[in-house]
Chain A
Amino acid sequence: MYLGIDVGGTFTDGVLVSENKIIKTCKIPTSNNSILEAFEKLMDDKPFKRLEKIVISTTLMTNLILERKYDKTGLLLLPGPGISYQDYNFPFQFAIARGSIDFQGRIIEPVDEDEIIENVGQLIRAGCLNIGIISKFSSRNPALELEVEKIVKKQFPHLNIKLGHQVTGNLNFIRRAMGTGLFLATHNTFYNFILDIENSFKQRNINCPVYILKADGGIVPIKFVDKFAVDTILSGPAASCLGAKALLESDASAIVVDIGGTTTDLSLILNSIPLYASRGVRIEDIYTHVRSLAVYSIPIGGDTGIDIDGNNCLILTFQRAGLPACLGGEKPTLTDCLRVLDLTDIGDKDKAYSVLENISILLKKPVTEIANTALNMATDLIIKAIEKVFKIWQEEPAYRIWQLLNPLSIKPNTLICLGGPSGPMGRLLSEKMQIKNVHYPLCSVANAIGAALAIPTYEEKVRINTEKGEISSSWGYFVKMENLQKQKLFPKIAETKALEVFNLFLKENKVYAEPEIYQHEVFNMVRNWQTTGQIHEITLGIKPKILGFIENKECFG
């Protein structure tokens, strides 16, 4: 039995899955205690020992970042030549120090011990006890970060230190610095949250493994998750997309529309694989290195308000209007429109009618026409956004000839709507788009289903520079290899080496899965018309999959 819990902003959803069948679901208001509450509701009197795993998706990290609930953190940056410091925008204090590394990992300028001590001293005086140390190109050579760490530790042994290359080995100095800062600034809160969960499960004698869901739809054992804390941002949309996948045919290509209270998240499943974003997650002006599904959000949801503008035109307000009137709120919302048209039976129809009647009198049009017009406007906006998602996907830059000559042309033929008002909205959208609509009552807890069925997934890069005899990676692994063939490394040998170091990483994190090579590129390094070495860039990982497809979707609930 697998148990999935998705803690959202308003509701916490949970499901219990056994042999590809949903056993039980629950939906409760989110509170400090909702993980345990959901757990108890789902398990009832079932024996704990049949539980194989628990997966939790939480908005904690997203909230910490959005609300800037940071512990005081300082960054010591070694940028070397490049863009101006004026263009840096960190929510943390930072200081610049000498010392630089180039794209090949060559040390261009050494560090200056006195300067480092002085700079860190200043950060400490400003109250920062968490210090991130980030050098440009540290993934190509972490030597300077390590050297600085040594200097700082010797002088200030009580500090919390994190190095950039330990957070991510991907290129992008600014995002790496941001990720290092976020890690340090949220670490305590996140760690305590994990301890709480672990303890409360322990107290109940639950010994099955517990995992946390990441933004890429992969899971990490809770014991190791503090290393990957920042990667748990925006795991909600990933959970929803995986859940949608579990409710579709096993080879489906579909548009996933997740309609919440104030936002609608759009994502794509192409030949049964969720589409990934080409750049790291961005939340407002916080740019991170975190890999995630490609999710496009628009500010429309069931709680979106309806109003009249200065020209007596009906408009959507794009602001939370409070609860829908039919559920006890005061102002008319899209949910009220669905209610008066009997497209949903949630809430009190009379209340919905009476708030819409005010608009109807002012515009001298029947209530049903008002409701239809508002829903039309909303579905038009969602469809426009879906078209935009396609456009973004198709206009994704490509750097190789074969990619341009073989454009992906999968056309999703199915729409699956998740979330509260998903049933009627899905029908309206699919009619307009002339596309197949998939809807089950289970769609309202698809996020929890996605969490329950998630497994580890990775896409990482290994770079081998034969001239320098170095292997580096996107997860921060770096090693010098003495006995590497210099001029030409056979592709098979390079790939074996890459898999070897990647398997090491997986083992460290207790992940047991067969990695695959996704792509392998070789660049001959030529100096003075002589080949002096090769750069192998190998992309490898574990394909995003789920544990199974739900079989009792038609008859459950």
Chain B
Amino acid sequence: MNKSTGLVFFPAFDWSISPTHPEREERLLYTRDQIMEEGLLDFPNIKEYKAQLALKEDILRTHFCLPAYENVITEAHLIAAGSAIAIGKAWHEKEIFNGFALVRPPGHHALHITYGNRGFCNINNEAILVEFLRKKYEYRKIAIIDTDVHHGDGTQDIFYHDPDVLFVSFHQDGRTLFPGSGFINELGGPNAFGTTLNIPLPPGVGDNSLMYIIDKLILPVLKDFEPEIIINSAGQDNHFTDPLANMNVTAQGYARLTEKLNPDILVLEGGYAVETALPYVNLAIILALAGKDFTGVIEPQLGNKKLIESKDIMKYCETITSKLLSIWEKKKEINLDELFGKEKFYTRKKKIFYDTEYFTEEQEETVRRCTDCGGFIKYISYLKDNRKSPKSLCISIPIYSCPDCQKAGEDLFYSECNKDNFQQIFLQHKPKDLYLSKDDFHGEY
């Protein structure tokens, strides 16, 4: 058994959203300093890998980039996604036992359809990794545990109808933090009910309450789901010094969390306390992955202090744990028709706000209900209050879809290409690894 931990470190020292934006060159500078000063890369069981560029097909396998690929993707994004893939490859080849893509920019707010930068993210690194691993190596059941303080709404969106991907996110409650979603009742679509689990938490959650949730809720659910791979969306903004959120987790807490989850692959997400948290949290996580003693990693700002959460918070965590656990255990008994209606197609409407670029997408998402697979999904999308924004139809056929759903998705693409309802039409055919637009369609294919 190979016991090495793989590391791709890509601090993108020449990329920022803007000079003073939290997502700037400086973000991983001190993390690099700490890793280098500790001599971590000299450990015989830590292997550093070179960052790589993802390919266009890797992106198109996961996203609809609107209005066009070029509007959404930059090289920095390709490298962050490609680095996650690099770790995935090394893990699959059993060169490493587990691995960490310590990269920026992050990705978990990027949805299935992406128009650009939202919550600092353009494309979803974890989702791209999942689709890569499934396409190239035929993995099927994958769990993504999102430990960022913000709800991983992009990842949730991409796998909302996928019964083979378990998405679990704990985060500061959407009523007090961006992106304002991730409530307990968001549980997955009709074809994948229960494989999305959200654990909204009140401000002030610390190490103890978090360990409780991991021990009593996340670990039992993982055990029950039996994933082939566990991926951790490893945001570090639950830290007690993070400027964008209000949690009380320490580097020790993050390390223990990592040890308990025992993820195969971690991909860095948020975390913006560039001096007080990131160098220590990253160090502690890497040590935990490599099976080394991490108890000496204490943030200077913490010193001898103990951050103990209030009784109310502990109580809240116990309640939400038992609630979600019972939902998880009874998910098969739920009458889906009561929740989603009796129609063959289930439709929901979404307004998606892009906070960086300040526009809103109007989206209608429809999934074909199917008991054999995740169905196929179609989206109608355009930007609100923007007459230049083309109305797009996007059809996604999931990788493990049944022949009926595949056929239905293909048929819709052909028939719409012969009509004039939409200015743009895209087909994401994952089983055939085929990514087409209306321009590629010449009557047959």
The interface of chain A, by Cβ under 8 A from chain B, is 79, 81-87, 100, 102-104, 106, 108, 136-137, 171-175, 279, 287, 395-402, 404-405, 521, 523-526, 528-531, 535
**Interface set, chain B 293-307, CB cutoff 8 A to A:** 293-300
Is B42 touching A172 in the complex (CB atoms < 8 A)? yes
Is A84 touching B293 in the complex (CB atoms < 8 A)? yes
**Interface set, chain B 10-59, CB cutoff 8 A to A:** 10-15, 19-20, 22, 24-26, 29-30, 32-34, 36-43, 48-53
Contacts of A531 in B (CB 8 A): 19-20
With CB as the reference atom, state the residue of chain B lying closest to A79: B296
Encode contact with A along B285-296: 1 for CB under 8 Å, 0 otherwise: 001000011111
Is A103 touching B50 in the complex (CB atoms < 8 A)? no
Known contacts A395-B49, A524-B24; 6 additional CB pairs below 8 A are: A84-B296, A172-B37, A397-B51, A401-B15, A521-B25, A523-B26
A526-B14 contact in complex given A397-B50, A399-B32, C-beta closer than 8 Å: no
Is A171 touching B79 in the complex (CB atoms < 8 A)? no
Give A393 to B204 CA distance when docked, in angstroms. 47
Give A82 to B292 CA distance when docked, in angstroms. 11
Out of B12, B26, B32, name the residue touching A525 (CB < 8 Å).
B26
Give A85 to B296 CA distance when docked, in angstroms. 9
With CB as the reference atom, state the residue of chain B lying closest to A531: B20
B77–chain A nearest beta-carbon distance, Å: 10
With CB as the reference atom, state the residue of chain B lying closest to A106: B300
Show 24 A/B contacts (Cβ-Cβ < 8 Å), sorted by A: A81-B280, A82-B37, A82-B283, A83-B39, A83-B40, A83-B292, A84-B293, A87-B293, A103-B275, A171-B36, A279-B42, A287-B42, A395-B50, A397-B9, A397-B51, A399-B11, A401-B14, A401-B75, A404-B51, A404-B52, A521-B25, A523-B25, A524-B20, A535-B29
Q: Does B380 contact A (CB under 8 A)?
A: no
With CB as the reference atom, state the residue of chain B lying closest to A83: B38
Q: Does B279 contact A (CB under 8 A)?
A: yes
Out of A84, A137, A524, name the residue touching B292 (CB < 8 Å).
A84
A84-B20 contact in complex given A172-B36, A172-B37, C-beta closer than 8 Å: no
Is A400 touching B12 in the complex (CB atoms < 8 A)? yes
Q: Does B402 contact A (CB under 8 A)?
A: no
Out of B11, B39, B283, name the residue touching A175 (CB < 8 Å).
B39
Q: Does B314 contact A (CB under 8 A)?
A: no
Contacts of A395 in B (CB 8 A): 49-50
Is B38 touching A400 in the complex (CB atoms < 8 A)? no
8 smallest A-B Cβ distances: which pairs? A84-B293, A174-B39, A103-B33, A171-B36, A108-B300, A523-B26, A171-B37, A81-B298
Give A83 to B296 CA distance when docked, in angstroms. 6
Is B51 touching A530 in the complex (CB atoms < 8 A)? no
Contacts of A405 in B (CB 8 A): 53, 75
Encode contact with A along B357-374: 1 for CB under 8 Å, 0 otherwise: 000000000000000000
Give A175 to B37 CA distance when docked, in angstroms. 9
Q: Does B403 contact A (CB under 8 A)?
A: no
A100–chain B nearest beta-carbon distance, Å: 8
Contacts of B37 in A (CB 8 A): 82, 103, 136-137, 171-173
Q: Does B243 contact A (CB under 8 A)?
A: yes
Residue among A102, A106, A108 having the largest count of chain B Cβ atoms under 10 Å = A102
Is A397 touching B292 in the complex (CB atoms < 8 A)? no
A199–chain B nearest beta-carbon distance, Å: 40
Contacts of A399 in B (CB 8 A): 9-13, 32, 51
Give A535 to B29 CA distance when docked, in angstroms. 10
A401-B79 contact in complex given A81-B299, A83-B38, A86-B293, C-beta closer than 8 Å: yes
Contacts of B327 in A (CB 8 A): none
Contacts of A174 in B (CB 8 A): 38-39, 42
Q: Does B76 contact A (CB under 8 A)?
A: yes
Is B287 touching A83 in the complex (CB atoms < 8 A)? yes
B411–chain A nearest beta-carbon distance, Å: 41
Is B12 touching A526 in the complex (CB atoms < 8 A)? no
Is A175 touching B297 in the complex (CB atoms < 8 A)? no
B101–chain A nearest beta-carbon distance, Å: 13
With CB as the reference atom, state the residue of chain B lying closest to A138: B37
